[in-house]
């Protein structure tokens, strides 16, 4: 269970770090899309796509939205696409619940920044895996997460279990995480851990850092329990199947 290698230290400023790993067979049980479905698999980390200032602005969007709700347990989510917001032990639809007041919470500039950040991450993933960014589609769920050390109250709060995104969400082909807070400064624990046979490799969150990877079993992973403070991140995921694509969120 020990971390044996740190892929990205919080104090590092990484331009681009990429590690190729053999692809799993998970993609074979889904329809393949040439020029997109992974044939090259791996994981990357970069601090050169999103600035810290942009990450702070994105975090403020998350804080405003999540302040309207929040899980009774330690893990809250906000999905600007579907409107899903943790509230107590359940979820509500942010847009239905707050209706016209939503314009007081978010601005068009917020959503424009969100779109721009998503676009840049998409381009970076495409570049790393040698595919066209136009063959990738945003897919659900894509969401903000806020994690603290409050005891879990429901299974939705148990974020720390090892999992495979392609198995959990069949549409996922490429997963990315944009970190919005700093390991050891804003929170303790909460590192991202790739679980490889015989060794674990971790990414230490840093505001503005993007971690991305192919979504199959070659990248089994988990998040350590947060021991203190609050960890903010946004998960942005992509599919090769246009039927599973979603549009950017819009402020209506």
What amino acid positions are annotated as catalytic residues?
231
CA-to-CA distance for 216 and 27, rounded, in angstroms? 7
Can you tell me which residue has the tokens 């944009």? Answer: 178
Note whether 240 and 176 are within 8 A (CB). Answer: no
- Per residue in 34-70, is it b (16+ CB within 10 Å) or e — as a string? eebbbeebbbbbbbebbeeebbebbbebbeebbebbb
DSSP string, 4-65: -EEEE-TT---S-EEEEE---SGGGGS---TTTS-SSEEEEEESSSS-HHHHHHHHHHHHHH
Q: Write out the two tokens for 172.
A: 């996922």
Question: How many angstroms separate the Cα of 173 from the Cα of each of 12, 40, 116, 120, 135?
Answer: 28, 12, 21, 17, 12
Residue 216, SS3? coil
């Amino acid at each position: 269970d020990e971390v044996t290698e740190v892929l990205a230290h919080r104090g590092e400023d990484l331009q681009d770090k990429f590690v190729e790993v053999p692809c799993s067979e998970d993609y074979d049980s889904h329809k393949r899309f040439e020029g997109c479905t992974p044939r090259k698999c791996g994981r990357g980390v970069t601090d050169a796509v999103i600035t810290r200032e942009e990450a702070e602005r994105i975090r403020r969007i998350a804080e405003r939205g999540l302040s309207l709700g929040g899980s009774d347990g330690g893990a809250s989510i906000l999905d600007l696409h579907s409107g899903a917001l943790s509230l107590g032990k359940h979820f509500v639809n942010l847009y239905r619940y707050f209706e016209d007041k939503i314009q007081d919470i978010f601005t068009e500039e917020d959503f424009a920044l969100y779109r721009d950040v998503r676009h840049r991450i998409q381009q970076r993933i495409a570049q790393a895996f040698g595919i066209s960014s136009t063959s990738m589609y945003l897919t659900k769920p894509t969401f903000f997460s806020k994690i603290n050390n409050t005891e879990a109250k429901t299974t939705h709060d148990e974020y720390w279990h090892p999992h495979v995104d392609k198995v959990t969400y069949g549409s996922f082909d490429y997963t990315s995480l944009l970190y919005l807070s700093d390991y050891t400064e804003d929170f303790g624990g909460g590192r991202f851990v790739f679980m490889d046979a015989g060794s674990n490799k971790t990414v230490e969150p840093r505001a503005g850092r993007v971690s991305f990877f192919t979504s199959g079993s070659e990248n089994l992973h988990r998040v350590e329990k947060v021991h203190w403070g609050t960890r903010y991140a946004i998960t942005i995921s992509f599919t090769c199947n246009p039927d599973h694509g979603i549009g950017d969120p819009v402020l209506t």
